[in-house]
Structure 1
Amino acid sequence: MVDETIFKAYDIRGIYPDTLNEEIARDIGRAFVHSLGLAGSRIVVGRDMRISGEALSRAFIRGVTESGADVLDLGLVSTDALYFAVGHLEEPGGAMITASHNPKEYNGFKLCRENAIALSGEEGIFRIRDLILSGKLPPPSDHPGSVETGDIAEPYAEHCLTFIDTEGLRPLKIVVDAGNGMAGKMLPPIFERLPFEYEPMYFEPDGTFPNHPPNPIELENIAELRRRVVEVGADFGAAFDGDADRVFIVDEKGDPISGDMIVALVAKNILEKEPGATILYNAVCSKAVPDLIEREGGVGIRTRVGHSIIKPQMREHNAAFGGEHSGHYYFRDNYFADSGIVAMLTVAELVARQDGPISELLAPIDPYVRSGEINSEVADQQAKLKEIEEYFAARGAKIDHLDGLTVDMGSWWFNLRPSNTEPLLRLNVEAENRETLERERDRLLEMIRS
């Protein structure tokens, strides 16, 4: 019996072998080919270092070839390198076997069409789910596909370096924590071509994650990186998640830089090279982001959270860059796909073009203080949102519903939005000073949790 909860809004994800096993992986391969009409063409397949990755990859490839499509098997790669391969080789589809930042018992599939257009729930994943659940998968093809192996590391390294100008950059020292994930494989060929010194942490891909979980958004998982940056006098530190599509950066003092401030830094770099470019940012990002885009002469467009929202809008507006507070950074010239590695390189270039440290670069950009995302378990999310909206509407707040509830009180504002997958409300508060932030955050949490 297939557990249909593994088919999610942005990908397929479950626990191996309980809810995701070889039999289901094979069916996903068959359904992927049939639902997208890919028989007779070639699909690119990659996987991360998870223990179950090889077995699931073999089973998925078997399902694909049985259905009459060929496979280019890249083996161990990062998710952004898989997207690059699909776009660069002009193939009609790709599959990355990964569970990103989840614990080691998880695995899953990120699927895409031509030009690395990601499949989301409504745009393909639920069709694959329904085909599998119907029990009406077509029988194996009379003309099974073939499998060849390939390596994308060198072309991918060259592609990443097209996003920066390496001439005249001062040498930097960067500590990189790959978290035993795929950044450890993809980064060395890139750094070989750069005037930067890097200190590797946990570059050996290891799906048991012996050092810390592959989720750098949690502060405890970057504690060692923060110490190391200060110890070795590095210019900054970078931590990647398991499949290396997200990056989190700490400054020269070991202080974490929020995802939306990385959005601002990348936007600044892009607008210096491409004046007037369109930049997308999600509704949870700091006001500092649209402030910077406007100051630098760009066109800012505010969007809802989520790659299935942002990527189509980027294509529609031909946006040079799109960023999320959660560490996802999307680039037009990367087939509109996200890349933690390209984001890190653009930040490094910006730092290497000036004399001061990264914290000095940020200081004039970021006059605000933020709470970070705070989750509260709430049984009736919609009732709570309505209650809070009515309270602030009566006090003359500026309110919008682009993504959940955004309330602007002038000197401070907040966004409160329901989780797609859990009975949670996610709160982000930003204010002009620490005292206001703490007072309003505590008051909101009392209202949310009462």
Structure 2
Amino acid sequence: MTHQFHPSSLREYDIRGIIGETLGEKDAYAIGRSFATLLTRAGGTRVAVGYDGRESSPRLSDALIDGLTTGGVSVVRVGLGPTPMLYYAEAVLEVDGGIMITGSHNPANYNGFKMVFQHRPFFGEDIQEVGRLSAAGDWVESDERGSVADFDILDQYVGRLVAGYSGGEYRIGWDTGNGAAGPAIEKLTAQLPGEHHLLFTDVDSAFPNHHPDPTEEKNLEDLRRLVAEKGLDFGVAFDGDGDRIGAIDGQGRIVWGDQLLSILAEPVLKAVPGATIIADVKTSQALYDRVAELGGEPLMWKTGHSLIKSKMKETGAPLAGEMSGHIFFAHDYYGFDDALYAAVRLIGAVKASGKSLTQLKSDMPQMVNTPEMRFQVDETRKFAAVDEVLDRLEADGADVNRTDGARVNTPDGWWLLRASNTQDVLVARAEAKDQAGLDRLMAQIDDQLAKSGIERGEQAGH
């Protein structure tokens, strides 16, 4: 037997596609066979499997498990829940890997697979290898089928989230957007002191209230209304599979991913003085300055949750984060991105600061920045265009950081141009101290794009 995946489904950080078009049960079975093959060859025997609230998830789960067990690997099913619950299961149960079936924050007709292999992220080359093994039919043939057991880990996971809670009592709004984190948030808030107001915790694959992506302002409107009507201290929101967090303060202002990281970094750096704190290239200069001011070692790294997790292991960093709301705690936790745990730690960090989240937000340096701008560029051109920009800038003697694309520092601030690893788009962002400076930075981006024959044009969706 051999299997060919749709070329668009094997991504940098996961396997993802449109159900019935680019992804289906045959793909899930092939992933199971290839993963079982890789795991068996590495000496592993058992995998944890979880899934999110999408309509297609149970079917994909069954096909995946069929593939894994046919390959002789045993499966522990942990059931419906957020992605970090599966990561937690992989970290604490006697298993050698984990697979989560999730479409994350993609539209309802998408789904996908996020994987962990012997306690490390499974991405990039690993995912390409799944494709190669499937295409060649190079699968381990097992005489004995793997066993399947069910383990309801939700209560244990929630118990771990609240262990050592030090956050005091607040009045908080929580919006899970009908995503997979809902039931866990219901159990979590029942165990936290204070007053908790919950929105859209019932899991519904149609996302009837708003799309579960807390980085888009329009998706926070319901939470804003709730915080305003009830006069709450602040609000937190989650993406479809609970590995990304969004937050608003008591005035309804968004506390962006890098701003959350600057608040979370303070107690961590008190506990681990001089530690490395990692953030991605899209992050505000204010965050790197704040980490340095707190005595930490700021490290700018590539965007992508798997890349950040790998860098954390390499550097021993206790904390990392991305603009997109992935927050990773290795301090007192397991080093994976868990938005529910980040919310608990945020409450603790606000308490430790002696200020309200609203005050913390007000105290932050005022920067003028663009949202993430995304525009369509042909797949064959996207990396080449960034290389051309880098070559021109360096020839001009510009101050350029090449960590992930081009991040250019100027007296006005900085701008970034990078190729997306997951889509045929270029991503740009700029930040300055005032609007005039921002306009000058945008002119530089447009000038560089024009020299490579690209127009910033229509914004591409996620």
TM-score tier (shorter): over 0.9
Give me the whole-angstrom Cα distance separating, in 1, the residues matched to 2:130 and 2:393: 43
Instruction: Identify the range of structure 1 (345-354 vs 54-63) with the bigger mean alpha-carbon deviation.
Output: 345-354
CA displacement at 1:151 relative to structure 2: 1.2
Q: Which runs of structure 2 are paired with 1:108-123 in the superposition (5 Å)?
A: 108-115=112-119, 117-122=120-125
Residue in structure 2 matched with residue 370 of structure 1 by the alignment:
369
Task: Report the alpha carbon displacement of residue 431 of structure 1 after superposing the two structures with TM.
Answer: 0.9
Q: TM-score, normalised by structure 2?
A: 0.90
Contact 1:70 1:146 in 2 (8 A): yes
Q: Kindly tell me: are residues 73 and 383 of structure 1, through their superposed partners in 2, closer, same or farther at Cα, counting changes over 3 Å?
A: closer
Cα distance change, pair 386–354 in 1 and its aligned pair in 2 (3 A): closer
Residues 31 and 423 (structure 1), Cα distance of their counterparts in 2 relative to 1, 3 Å cut: closer
Instruction: Deviation per CA, 1:356-409: give whole Å up to 9, x if none.
Output: 431311333434222121123345445654665566557653112111011111
Task: Report matched runs for 1:402-421 at 5 Å.
Answer: 402-421=403-422
2:276 alignment partner in structure 1: 278
Tell me how far 1:269 sits from its aligned partner: 2.7
Partner of 1:257: 255
Q: Deviations over 1:259-315 (max 9, x none)?
A: 111111111231133322221111221111111111111122221111232112211
Q: Which of 198, 207, 224 is the matching residue for 1:200? A: 198
Task: Tell me if structure 2 keeps the 8 A contact 1:161–1:190.
Answer: yes
Q: Counterpart in 1 of 2:334? A: 335
Distance apart, 1:41 and its partner CA:
2.1
Write the letter of the residue equivalent to 1:61: I
Which AA in structure 1 matches 2:417? L
How far residue 164 of structure 1 moved from its aligned partner, in angstroms, is 4.0
Tell me the amino acid that sits aligned with residue 10 of structure 2. F
2:401 is matched with which residue? 400
Bigger mean CA deviation after superposition, 185-194 or 394-403: 394-403
The letter of the residue matching 1:148 is A
Change (3 A) 1:2 1:444: closer
Q: CA deviation at 1:355?
A: 5.4
Name the structure 2 match of 1:325. Answer: 323
1:78 counterpart residue number: 82
The Cα shift of 1:161 comes to 2.3
Distance 1:389 1:110, change over 3 A: closer
Equivalent runs, 1:119-268 vs 2, <5 Å: 119-122=122-125, 124-139=126-141, 141-162=142-163, 164-166=165-167, 169=168, 171-268=169-266
Which residue is equivalent to 2:344?
Answer: 345
Which amino acid in the other structure matches residue 327 of structure 2?
Answer: Y
Alpha-carbon contact 2:412-2:438 (below 8 Å) kept: no
Q: What is the identity percentage for the equivalent residue pairs of Structure 1 and Structure 2?
A: 36
Is 1:5 aligned to residue 8 of structure 2?
yes
Q: Secondary structure at the match of 2:408?
A: strand
Corresponding letter in the other structure for 1:441: M
Structure 2 residues without counterparts, runs of 5 or longer = 456-462
Partner amino acid for 2:371? G
Q: Secondary structure at the match of 1:104?
A: coil
**How far apart are 1:155 and its partner, in Å?**
1.8
Change over 3 Å in CA distance of 1:402–1:90 after alignment to 2: same
Separation in structure 2 between the aligned mates of residue 265 and residue 20 of structure 1, nearest angstrom: 40
Distance in 1 (alpha carbons) for counterparts of 2:431 and 2:308: 23
Report the equivalent of 2:356.
Answer: 357
Within 2, Cα distance between the matches of 1:162 and 1:196?
16
Give the direction of change, closer, same or farther, for the CA distance of 1:392–1:59 in structure 2 (3 Å limit): closer
Q: CA deviation at 1:330?
A: 1.0
How big is each residue's C-alpha offset from its partner over 1:303-354, in whole Å with a ceiling of 9 and x where there is no partner?
Answer: 1111232112211221101111111111114322111111111211222345
Amino acid at match of 1:188: E
Alignment of 1:6-21 (within 5 A): 6-21=9-24
Q: Secondary structure at the match of 2:155?
A: helix
CA–CA distance in structure 2, aligned partners of residues 276 and 446 of structure 1: 40
- The whole-number CA distance in structure 1 between the counterparts of 2:70 and 2:8 is 26
Contact 2:372–2:427 (8 Å) recurs in 1: yes
Q: TM-score, normalised by structure 1?
A: 0.92
Calculate the aligned-residue CA RMSD, in Å.
2.2
Distance verdict in 2 for CA 1:350–1:28, change over 3 Å: same
Give the whole-Å Cα distance in 2 for the aligned partners of 1:33 and 1:148: 17
Secondary structure in 2 matching 1:244: coil
1:163–1:342 CA contact under 8 A, matched in 2:
no
Q: Counterpart amino acid of 1:429?
A: A
Query: Relative to 1, partners in 2 of residues 1:354 and 1:318: Cα closer, same or farther, differing over 3 Å?
Result: closer
Per the alignment, do residues 233 and 64 of structure 1 end up closer, same or farther by CA in structure 2, a change over 3 Å counting? same
Partner secondary structure for residue 5 of structure 1: coil
27 and 381 in structure 1: CA distance in 2 versus 1, 3 angstrom threshold: closer
Q: Secondary structure at the match of 2:267?
A: helix
